[in-house]
Amino acid sequence: MDSNKKFLNGTLNTIVLALLRENGKMYGYEICQLTKEKTDNKILLTEGAIYPTLHRLEKDGLIISSKEKVNGRTRKYYAINQSSLQEVESQIDLLSQFTGHLRSLLNLTT
Amino acid sequence: MDSNKKFLNGTLNTIVLALLRENGKMYGYEICQLTKEKTDNKILLTEGAIYPTLHRLEKDGLIISSKEKVNGRTRKYYAINQSSLQEVESQIDLLSQFTGHLRSLLNLTT
DNA sequence: GCCGAATACCTAATTCTCTTATGTATTATT
DNA sequence: AATAATACATAAGAGAATTAGGTATTCGGC
């Protein structure tokens, strides 16, 4: 059914980077919701995956966090670390190439 | 560089199934070589990954093996288990959908 | 006013796949 | 004769996601 889960491994890092680059800044919960909506419930990011990923990317210096209180709830926003922008672009490009190669290797058209 | 490695996780199963479905029967080493050629050295399958994968798929009943001696070397050919064909098609279809969703989510065009 | 759903964060134990490193054996190339 | 290529295999370790749990606030229905 929603077994897209098993394909996610390895790509989550780059999904997050790509969404942040496109949307400026986002918080964890928002990333999950947006992904869910944009893929028609097909790619479901779990909180147990997204938060460790965000922490990892921040530790690696690729993104930067800032807390904001909105409607009494604390949101932790993340944005691309501009000094790592090149590295980020490069990683996104690699994923793009990978999916391209994969689709041609497997003659996928969908 | 060839960091496509980190994207492979989870998709290897399905890559193997798709190649076997398309090519009738193949052996492990051949799958590695073909993948390397078809992706211009971008997707490199290692033997430590491919052989356990083939064993797993056979254990799960999705593929069937048969040994052949060619030029003094033993090849272990694998082919899709026809009674599992539907399951195999379904898995390939899922990967196809996943990469499609991924590319649209990330606005990938390459 | 209460209660469940939604929002929003977090972490730990376990599972699973891949990497890295080895090992064996035969044939082709230089 | 030595090295590369072919062809299989497995084991230890790393790393990421799943599963499952926890906290806390706000919104919506009744």
Per-residue model confidence as pLDDT tens digits over B59-96 = 999 999 999 999 999 999 999 999 999 999 999 999 99
More confident residue, A9 or B77: B77
pLDDT in the model for residue B1:
39
Nearest Cα of chain A lies from the Cα of B84 at a distance, in angstroms, of: 17
Predicted confidence at residue B45, as pLDDT, reads: 96
In three-state form (DSSP H/G/I as H, E/B as E, the rest C), the secondary structure along chain A is: CCCCHHHHCCCHHHHHHHHHHHHCEEEHHHHHHHHHHHCCCCCCCCHHHHHHHHHHHHHCCCEEEEEEEECCEEEEEEEECHHHHHHHHHHHHHHHHHHHHHHHHCCCCC
Number of CB pairs, chain A paired with chain B, less than 8 A apart: 114
* Contact between the CB of A67 and strand C at under 7 Å: no
In the numeric block, the tokens 């999950």 are attached to A32
Are A59 and A67 within 8 A, CB to CB? no
Q: Which residues contact B51 (CB under 8 A, 6 or more apart)?
A: B28
Q: What does the pLDDT read at residue A42? A: 93
**Which residues in chain A have their CB less than 8 angstroms from residue B98's CB?**
4, 7, 42-43
What is the distance between the alpha carbons of residues A93 and B7, in angstroms, rounded to a whole number? Answer: 12
Å between B17 CA and nearest CA of chain A:
10
Region A83-91: mean pLDDT is: 96
Contacts of B4 in chain A (CB under 8 A): 94, 97-98, 101
Topology of domain A5-105 in CATH is: Arc Repressor Mutant, subunit A (1.10.10)
pLDDT digits (tens, 9 = 90+) for B22-56: 999 999 999 999 999 999 999 999 999 999 999 99
Residue A1 has pLDDT above 50, yes or no: no
Confidence of residue A109 (pLDDT cuts 50, 70, 90): confident
